[in-house]
């Protein structure tokens, strides 16, 4: 029948290399990974915690109903204040916790990354160009990493490239000696 195509061994190796480059760039603060709270805070999400979402509402409801049993007006006031507390205090707290869990899970391994990417809760942006972004699930994170993130640099490679940069020598002017001449004079 129609079985899903199995990824080739080279593709898995390439995906792992691209994922490693992405994580290295994230840790070096070259890219930002953002979380779409609304897409990841639902029961089918692996980073969803039911007690974070249900317990505060349950406490507000039961507390206000208990107070309402004795004093109707005070119970209604507690309910309104409880809803405000949930909207302005609890909801941002839950969003921050979902964000932290999603980032930790996504950067832990490639399987988690692909799972969260398919759900559609991640966005990758370049830190130096905020408008350059890749949004899941429609965006191709592999193409984004290949295009915008350079190969992982070896120690000393950036110094070597700066030494060999002819544009820097032209900018100095002809009357100033180059770096190479400075070293051997």
* pLDDT score recorded for residue 167: 52
Q: Is the pLDDT of residue 1 over 60?
A: no
Q: Is the pLDDT of residue 21 over 70?
A: yes
Task: From 92, 93, 139, select the one nearest 120 (Cα to Cα).
Answer: 139
Query: For the purposes of burial, counting CB atoms within 10 Å of the CB of 134, is it exposed (0-12), middle (13-18) or buried (19 or more)?
Result: buried
User: In Å, how far are 45, 69, 78 from 81, measured between CA atoms?
Assistant: 30, 17, 5
Mean pLDDT score across all residues of the chain: 78
Q: Which residues pair with 143 in a beta bridge?
A: none
Q: Is the pLDDT of residue 163 over 50?
A: no
Pairing of strands 31-35, 133-135: unpaired
Sign of the CA dihedral with 135 first, then 31, 129, and 145 last: negative
* pLDDT score recorded for residue 160: 38
Work out the average pLDDT over 142-152. 79
SS3 68: helix
Q: pTM of the entire structure? A: 0.67
Q: Kindly report, residue by residue over 122-146, the tens digit of the pLDDT.
A: 889 888 877 788 888 888 888 888 8
Tell me how far apart the alpha carbons of residues 80 and 64 are, in angstroms, rounded to a whole number.
9
Please count the CA atoms within 13 angstroms of the CA of 117 that sit on its side-chain side.
18
């Amino acid at each position: 029948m129609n079985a899903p195509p199995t990824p080739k061994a080279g593709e898995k190796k390439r995906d792992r290399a691209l994922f490693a480059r992405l994580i290295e760039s994230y840790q070096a603060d070259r890219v930002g990974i953002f979380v779409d709270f609304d897409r990841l805070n639902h029961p089918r999400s692996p980073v969803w915690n039911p007690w974070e979402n249900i317990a505060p509402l349950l406490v507000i409801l039961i507390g206000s109903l208990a107070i309402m049993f004795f004093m109707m007006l005070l119970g209604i006031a507690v309910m309104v204040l409880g809803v405000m507390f949930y909207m302005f205090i609890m909801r941002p707290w839950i969003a921050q916790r979902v964000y932290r869990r999603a980032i930790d899970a996504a950067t832990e391994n490639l399987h988690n990354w692909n799972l969260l990417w398919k759900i559609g809760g991640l966005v990758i942006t370049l830190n130096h160009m905020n408008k350059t972004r890749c949004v899941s699930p429609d965006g191709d994170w592999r193409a984004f990493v290949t295009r915008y993130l350079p190969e992982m640099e070896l120690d000393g490679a950036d110094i070597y490239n700066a030494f060999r940069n002819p544009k820097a020598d032209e900018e100095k002017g002809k009357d100033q000696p180059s770096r190479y001449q400075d070293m051997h004079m």
